[in-house]
Structure 1
Amino acid sequence: MKILSWALSMSLFVTLLSGCQLDQPKAQSTSFEATIGILLSDTGLGDGSFNDAAFKGLERARNELGIRFDYREAPDGNYEEKLNELAAQDMDLIIGLGYSVQEALEKVAEENPEQSFLLIDGSSDVANVMSMTFKEHEASFLVGVVAAMTSKTGVIGFIGGMDAEVIHRFEAGYTAGALYADPDIKIIADYAGDFGDAKLGETLASEQINKNADFLYPAAGYTGIGAILKAQEEGIFAAGVDGDQFYVAEKAVVTSMMKNVDIAVYDLVEALVEGSDEKTDYKLGLAENGVTLAEVRLTELTVTQQAKLIDARKKIISGDIIVPDQLKRGN
């Protein structure tokens, strides 16, 4: 029966995650000879963020740990079919990337109780599905601080992909951080209903810019790429998401909310050995280095502003600032 054993405790995993840097590979002499499968989220490889980061983590595990992996993309939404293709290979672990694959992954997991699964960006109660979620709201808070301190118009924008709980976390943290830095800041928010439409992202960005927004934060995949490029075209600032997207628009991207999916995936694979069937639910925030803020570029923060940003991060980690993961909507 192929069930994962996670010999490392959660505290050890967090230590690994916090200390691991991709530009400082670990020396490895052991090959786990594990086989890993991954179903990428809607937009697939080449998104410059979420999918590419997870893939990078598996490539590193292949190169340093000797594991083998296979992957599938499902641009047509045929998640169940692709997961079944991976399950038929009798792998040690199958990863479903993104909340949109959750329903299909849980169905396939229930049909294959001896196969282990990992859901990234969602929480599952299915016995053979582990869960990994990120506290996007914590690092988004820091993006909001930078946005409010950078804005000259007093208006900033947020563009979400789908109107979903995970994207609400980005908006909630961003909004809270902006108001923390400037209680008078105005935040415009729109939801595209699509992660794969760059043209729609351009349109939404234009609408927000026409409303005087001079800093945009899209959490919307390829749709967000369109928004970032429009920000650059219009000469305003933007923030990237999931990975460091500075190179998408080097005249616009001030910073990025980074999910260290690559590090998390690598460290989980490293922790894979044969044995028990314990299920684990990972929740990774600033304290665990699961999320972080990319370097701030293009703008010079004052000494006071830099201190405020550093202090906010410390207070989130210490618990002195509790960042909301959902906005209160309506009265």
Structure 2
Amino acid sequence: MKAKRSKWMLVTVLLLAAMLVTACGGGSEPAAGNGGQAEADGEALRIAIVTSPSGVDDGSFNQDNYNGILAFVENHGNATVNAVQETTGDVAAAVQAVADVVADYDVIVTPGFQFADISSIAKDNPEKKFILVDANPTPQDGQELFDNVYAMTFAEEESGFFAGVAAALETKTGKVSVVNGIAFPSNVNYQWGFESGVMYANKHFGTSAQVVELPSYAGTDVTNTNVGGNYVGNFADPATGKVVGNALINEGVDILFVAAGGSGMGVFTAAMEAEGIYVIGCDVDQFDDGVYSGGNVILTSVLKNMSINVERQLNAIVEGSFQGSNELLRANTDSTGFVWGDDRHQLSAETMEKLEEVYELVQAGTIVPSANFNGHSPDNFPGL
């Protein structure tokens, strides 16, 4: 496991290094690197990232995608990036935001399930490249794959599973919970993966943790099915995030797994204002976000390594090896996981040992946690 730990520490360092060059404030300010050529023929690569209302400085999902672009731009000095922030959170508006800027850029990065319908734009603009994160493109006239769209989805249920195991092992009250933004498939994957992890720890590690849900904040997924959980209803509403966080704390929850984008900052605040409450970060290493006058509320963070994969695809474009495809990325490609560095989490050595154990089982496919559409439930999945 030392080799794996070293590899994950390297990934964490790379993510942190990328965060250091992230422009605060997001919005529509362009950023450019210094050094190198954007393309072999010397032509500058013009990149746009179109995000949800939480923007590229949400400290989580959008920011990690943006960091992947910044890492690329840093090494390709003629390349530029412009951050476009869609302000309504509406699916139709998100796609329209891409349509509004497609003529001005060579590559458009779209993080979020709400951008699945950009396939119609991609079909009409075959000379443009699209990197779609967290969704596969909506089929057009029976066409599911597009030569100019690289779509990456992640097995978020794997990272959620690690969060659930950690929460069940570390809780003092016996009550844990997950707070999400909107019930897009990626968020439901996190939720059900978390619940699967709690179930696994209860069965195999002797814990007795209970997952707490607030019926008034239950989510409805893309098939209009009630998936339970605790959904803020937005990725950019920290005020409501704090309300949900406080309600769960009042129910006795002492560990909250937060997968809610900018709304999650409100949950962090609720934890900081309480006592003995910890948060598990999501998508990226959020340890620094947990610092407050009383210490740090981040127990650990689970990872979805988007920045590395975004940068890989941008490099493929300039190298001429870019290929449109729909890829599901898992732990076996180091695309899901959790923070390993000793100074970036507050887990016990025993918990870390058990996480290493289940990580290998997930990586091998022995454990397959429940996800929104994989046919498994949190109380009945392979490996339980």
Compute the displacement of 1:64 (Å): 0.8
Q: Does the C-alpha gap of structure 1 residues 53 and 211 become closer, same or farther in structure 2, counting only changes over 3 Å?
A: same
Match of 1:134 among 143, 149, 154: 154
2:306–2:335 CA contact under 8 A, matched in 1: yes
Q: Verify: 1:320 aligned to 2:320, yes or no.
A: no
Give the Cα separation in 1 of the matches to 2:289 and 2:83.
Answer: 25
Match of 1:307 among 327, 346, 353: 353
Match of 1:74 among 70, 79, 86: 86
Amino acid at match of 1:241: C
Who is 1:58 aligned against? 69
1:109–1:126 CA contact under 8 A, matched in 2: no
Who is 1:49 aligned against? 60
Compute the displacement of 1:141 (Å): 1.0
Compute the displacement of 1:211 (Å): 1.4
Q: Verify: 1:150 aligned to 2:174, yes or no.
A: no
Match of 1:192 among 216, 223, 232: 232
Who is 1:268 aligned against? 313
Q: Does the C-alpha gap of structure 1 residues 318 and 65 become closer, same or farther in structure 2, counting only changes over 3 Å?
A: same
Give the Cα separation in 2 of the matches to 1:268 and 1:254.
Answer: 32
Compute the displacement of 1:274 (Å): 6.6
Match of 2:115 among 101, 115, 124: 101
Who is 1:9 aligned against? none
Give the Cα separation in 2 of the matches to 1:221 and 1:300.
Answer: 23
Who is 1:14 aligned against? none
- Identical aligned residues as a percent: 27
Range that drifts further, 113-122 or 131-140: 113-122
Q: Verify: 1:289 aligned to 2:289, yes or no.
A: no
Amino acid at match of 1:74: E
Match of 2:187 among 167, 172, 175: 167
1:150–1:299 CA contact under 8 A, matched in 2: no
1:229–1:248 CA contact under 8 A, matched in 2: no
Compute the displacement of 1:263 (Å): 1.2
Compute the displacement of 1:45 (Å): 2.3
Compute the displacement of 1:34 (Å): 2.7
SS at structure 2 position matched to 1:65: coil
Amino acid at match of 1:52: Q
Deviations along 1:12-64, one digit per CA (max 9) or x if unpaired, are xxxxx989945789xx9664243322212331122011111111211111111
Give the Cα separation in 1 of the matches to 2:96 and 2:349.
Answer: 53
Compute the displacement of 1:240 (Å): 0.9
2:196–2:369 CA contact under 8 A, matched in 1: yes
Match of 2:270 among 230, 235, 247: 230
Give the Cα separation in 1 of the matches to 2:176 and 2:240.
Answer: 18
Match of 2:325 among 280, 297, 301: 280
Give the Cα separation in 2 of the matches to 1:145 and 1:68.
Answer: 41
SS at structure 1 position matched to 2:56: coil
Structure 2 runs not aligned, ≥5 long? 1-9, 19-34, 138-143, 213-228, 380-384
Amino acid at match of 2:237: D
Range that drifts further, 292-301 or 33-42: 292-301
SS at structure 1 position matched to 2:166: helix
Structure 1 runs not aligned, ≥5 long? 1-16
Range that drifts further, 124-133 or 203-212: 124-133
State the Cα RMSD in Å.
2.8
Deviations along 1:235-278, one digit per CA (max 9) or x if unpaired, are 21111111211222232111112222211111111122475784
Give the Cα separation in 2 of the matches to 1:138 and 1:71.
Answer: 29
Structure having greater relative contact order (Cα 8 Å, sep ≥ 6): 1
Q: Does the C-alpha gap of structure 1 residues 90 and 239 become closer, same or farther in structure 2, counting only changes over 3 Å?
A: closer
Compute the displacement of 1:308 (Å): 1.3
Matches within 5 A, 1:19-38: 21=14, 31-32=38-39, 33-38=44-49
2:168–2:201 CA contact under 8 A, matched in 1: yes
TM-score by length of 1: 0.84
Compute the displacement of 1:159 (Å): 1.1
TM-score by length of 2: 0.73
Deviations along 1:133-165, one digit per CA (max 9) or x if unpaired, are 111111111111110111011110111111222
Amino acid at match of 2:182: M
SS at structure 2 position matched to 1:228: helix
Q: Does the C-alpha gap of structure 1 residues 35 and 174 become closer, same or farther in structure 2, counting only changes over 3 Å?
A: same
Range that drifts further, 172-181 or 35-44: 35-44
Give the Cα separation in 2 of the matches to 1:270 and 1:285.
Answer: 21
